[in-house]
Copies of this chain bind each other. A is one copy, B any other.
């Protein structure tokens, strides 16, 4: 579908209001049961870097912002500058940890893909989906859908420690 057709779809405002200039789709927030376990997954398995943390002691929760950058040298060193930078980037992941859930063995968050449904998944695009999935297998990552499952052989879904689904795909056509 051409861009002209897309911007002519029912409901679509073809040219954004000038008042939205500078708006950035900054982050997506998910709640996690055990912050340490989630930080391990997102940094070790997927390559994210934490860039901001704040503990709301009175309300008993902590938030961490993470970014996925090819080069950590783009992250400002100065704390105030880094926070401002983090809030100006697209594609930030916010983890919220309500204190104590990590100590409740049966505690679980809802990933949105069974009733009641809503949120579906995050997606990390990768240069080589076959290589990425082979590495996830080697790391013992849980798959929701392997490349070989079902009819869509070009995408996979893995699950994070809270069972949220993460789509894995490559932007370019697959060889062969």
In the complex, are the beta carbons of B3 and A51 less than 8 A apart? yes
Q: How far is the CB of A167 from chain B (nearest CB, A)?
A: 8
**Contact residues of A: prevailing secondary structure:** mixed
Interface residues on A, range: 35 or more
* A87 sits at the interface (CB 8 A): yes
Task: Indicate with 1 or 0, residue by residue over A15-45, a CB within 8 angstroms of chain B CB atoms.
Answer: 1110111111111111100011111100110
* A120 sits at the interface (CB 8 A): yes
In the complex, are the beta carbons of A6 and B52 less than 8 A apart? yes
41-64 of chain A: CB within 8 A of chain B: 43-44, 46-53, 64
Closest B residue to A67 by CB, please name it.
B25
